[in-house]
Amino acid sequence: MTPTPPSASPSASTGDTPNLEFTGTTPYEQYVRASVLSHLQQPLSDDPGEMSFLVTTQVMELWFTLLVHEWETAARALRGDDLPAALAALGRSVYELQSLNDSWKPLAHLTPAQFNRYRSALGDASGFQSAMYRRLEFLLGEKSPAMLVPYRHAPAVHAELEKALHEPGLYDEVLRWLARRGHPVPEAVLGRDMAERYTADPGVEAVWLRVYAAEGAEDGAGDAEALRLGETLTEIGELIWRWRNNHLVATRRAMGAKPGTGGSSGVAWLEKRATKSVFPELWTARSHV
Ligand code: HEM
């Protein structure tokens, strides 16, 4: 039997069916802006398959936007020593990353002929130019001032990215939080130039090693909260690695070893990007536990 839904308040409805009369646009439209979203698709070719490529790309942009929001929320919470709020945001982001990765489905099996039907219409456009993806990568520590160059003539986007370049990333805030809890994170790492790519540090590896080695220790030597944070970050790192690899395989299937529309060598360039570890010491410390 279908459970009976809670009844609507008398002012919201006159019977057991939804309201049909609104004085202006619907409250749903005011909130969701669905008509704006569904009018943002302007395919460049006559190929009916291009809509799938365009909408999937736009959907991924929305996931990128949400992930940036979650990780900025988590970074802020860590800065304020509010671990529950940080873990809540990071936990949401794990589910969102899973959905982002599931979004590859419509594009994961394109044949070269199918992709070619609209590829030339894309001109020089490439996901490489996605400013939101770049912010996401900056938050993960993959910083690079050179990545600002494509936005030199788009001042608002450039300013946002430049701010993100110089701000501590999510992992920087994690390491500062660990240091405030008494873990011996090296000073050089805490005071590093935030605009530089984060590189693995043996002192940070030693911190994670201590946290992981003490898992379940009965003498109170463990730091269960740091371990929980470490595992949530590991999950995020793995899902990002999966996104990069899903992208790599979809690209290999759709265009083989041809150069990318953004001017790179294509698959060979993406392969190098896909091997990078997010939160590197969380992976290497495991070898020593
Ligand atoms: C089958 C479809 C796709 C192909 C063949 C493809 C191909 C490529 C290639 C060759 C590059 C390297 C840069 C270049 O020279 O263009 C690239 C980069 C990139 N693409 Fe795609 N792509 C596809 C789908 C997507 C989708 C749906 C997104 C979602 C927004 C996306 C986002 C990106 C991003 C963010 C980069 C930069 C990666 C980085 O900086 O490490 N791509 N893509």
Q: Place 221 in a pLDDT band, splitting at 50, 70 and 90.
A: confident
37 — alpha (psi -120 to 50), left (phi > 0) or beta? alpha
Write the DSSP string, 41-103.
---SSS-TTHHHHHHHHHHHHHHHHHHHHHHHHHHHHHHTT-HHHHHHHHHHHHHHHHHHHHT
Distance 171 CA to ligand 1 centre (A): 25
How far from 238 is each of 13, 33, 101, 252, CA to CA, in Å? Answer: 47, 33, 11, 21
Evaluate whether 268 touches 257 at the Cβ level (below 8 Å). yes
Distance CA 164, CA 75 (A): 12
Ligand 1 atom 30 nearest Cα? 57
pLDDT in tens, 108-148: 999 999 999 999 999 999 999 999 999 999 999 999 999 99
Ligand 1 atom 40 nearest Cα? 128
As to burial, measured by CB atoms within 10 angstroms (0-12 exposed, 13-18 middle, 19+ buried), residue 153 is exposed
Domain 49-288 classification at class level: mainly alpha
Mean pLDDT of 206-229: 92
The full set of domain ranges for the chain reads: 49-288
Say if residue 15's pLDDT is above 90: no
Distance 244 CA to ligand 1 centre (A): 9
What pLDDT was estimated at residue 28?
97
DSSP state of 166: H
Say if residue 1's pLDDT is above 70: no
Of the candidates 36, 42, 98, the one whose C-alpha atom is nearest the C-alpha of residue 235 is: 98
What pLDDT was estimated at residue 218?
81
Q: Place 13 in a pLDDT band, splitting at 50, 70 and 90.
A: low
Q: Place 237 in a pLDDT band, splitting at 50, 70 and 90.
A: very high
Say if residue 216's pLDDT is above 90: no
The annotation status of 2 as a binding-site residue, yes or no, is no
What pLDDT was estimated at residue 157?
98
Say if residue 105's pLDDT is above 80: yes
188 SS3 class: helix
Q: Place 163 in a pLDDT band, splitting at 50, 70 and 90.
A: very high
Lowest mean pLDDT among 11-20, 80-89, 174-183, 240-249: 11-20
Evaluate whether 254 touches 112 at the Cβ level (below 8 Å). yes
Q: What is the mean pLDDT of the chain?
A: 95
Ligand 1 atom 29 nearest Cα? 57
Lowest mean pLDDT among 3-7, 95-99, 277-281: 3-7
What pLDDT was estimated at residue 56?
98
Residue type (1 letter), 216: G
Position in ligand 1 atom list of the atom nearest CA 270? 12
As to burial, measured by CB atoms within 10 angstroms (0-12 exposed, 13-18 middle, 19+ buried), residue 234 is middle
What pLDDT was estimated at residue 91?
98
Does ligand 1 lie within 6 Å of residue 73's CB atom?
no
Does ligand 1 lie within 6 Å of residue 127's CB atom?
yes
Evaluate whether 226 touches 204 at the Cβ level (below 8 Å). no
Evaluate whether 266 touches 127 at the Cβ level (below 8 Å). no
Does ligand 1 lie within 6 Å of residue 126's CB atom?
yes
What pLDDT was estimated at residue 177?
98
What pLDDT was estimated at residue 217?
85
Distance CA 165, CA 167 (A): 6
Say if residue 8's pLDDT is above 90: no
Evaluate whether 238 touches 283 at the Cβ level (below 8 Å). no
The annotation status of 183 as a binding-site residue, yes or no, is no
Ligand 1 atom 37 nearest Cα? 128
Distance CA 189, CA 172 (A): 8
Q: Which two tokens stand for residue 86?
A: 């940080």
Lowest mean pLDDT among 1-5, 90-94, 163-167, 196-200: 1-5
Say if residue 6's pLDDT is above 50: no
Mean pLDDT of 13-38: 93
**What residues contact residue 201 under an 8 Å CB cut-off, 6+ apart?**
186, 188, 189, 281
Pick from 53, 57, 126 the residue to mutate for probing ligand 1's pocket: most ligand atoms within 8 Å of its CB.
126
Q: What are phi and psi of 128, to 5 degrees?
A: -55, -30
What pLDDT was estimated at residue 2?
45
Pick from 270, 271, 275 the residue to mutate for probing ligand 1's pocket: most ligand atoms within 8 Å of its CB.
270
Distance 82 CA to ligand 1 centre (A): 36
